[in-house]
Structures are given as structure tokens and as C-alpha cells.
Amino acid sequence: MKCYDENYYERHEDDMPDRCFLCGDLSGGLSVVRHIASMKMVHLCGDCMTDRMSEYLLDNTRAWKGKVGKTDADEVVKLFKRKQGE
């Protein structure tokens, strides 16, 4: 397995991090999955992932890098810490 190859985690050129790759719905619960045919990473909502599970797979070999997701996670941690301090 080539986990350390940057191309191994290439995002599909038409993928938008805030929308489902298949249906285009805006969703807060998108999963980053691998499109098996192209081997590229995309964002899918739960319904599309369930409906087309034979075409996509969860790939958790390493954390998703980049600002998308990390920024959201950092913001959640800040909010949690603020709530704990109240």
C-alpha cells in the first residue's frame, strides 16, 4: 500500500468539500470516501454513500489533510473549551 504517496489521496477535480459529490446537497454530515473506479477522494452524504456503496469505500488509512475539515475541527474544539469554561 502506498500510504505515503501524495497522489494516493488525490481529490476528484469536481469535488466540492461542502457539497455531496453525487447529489450536490449541502450537508454537515459528509464523509470523505474513495471512488473505486478513479481512486480519487470525494465527499458524499449518507444517502448517496448507502445507495452507491459498491462504487465507493471508506478510506481511513490516514487523516484527511488540508484546511477543509481541520478548520471545522479546530472551531469545534474552541467552542467545546469555551463551554467547559462557562
For 23-64, write each residue's pLDDT tens digit. Answer: 999 877 888 899 998 888 899 998 999 999 999 988 765 555
| Percent of the chain's residues with pLDDT above 90 | 24
- φ, ψ of residue 75 in degrees (nearest 5): -65, -40
pTM above 0.85, yes or no: no
Q: What is the pLDDT of residue 39?
A: 87
Domain ranges of the chain: 6-61
The span from the CA of 75 to the CA of 24, in Å, is: 24
Mean pLDDT, the chain, rounded, equals 77
Higher pLDDT, residue 85 or 1:
85
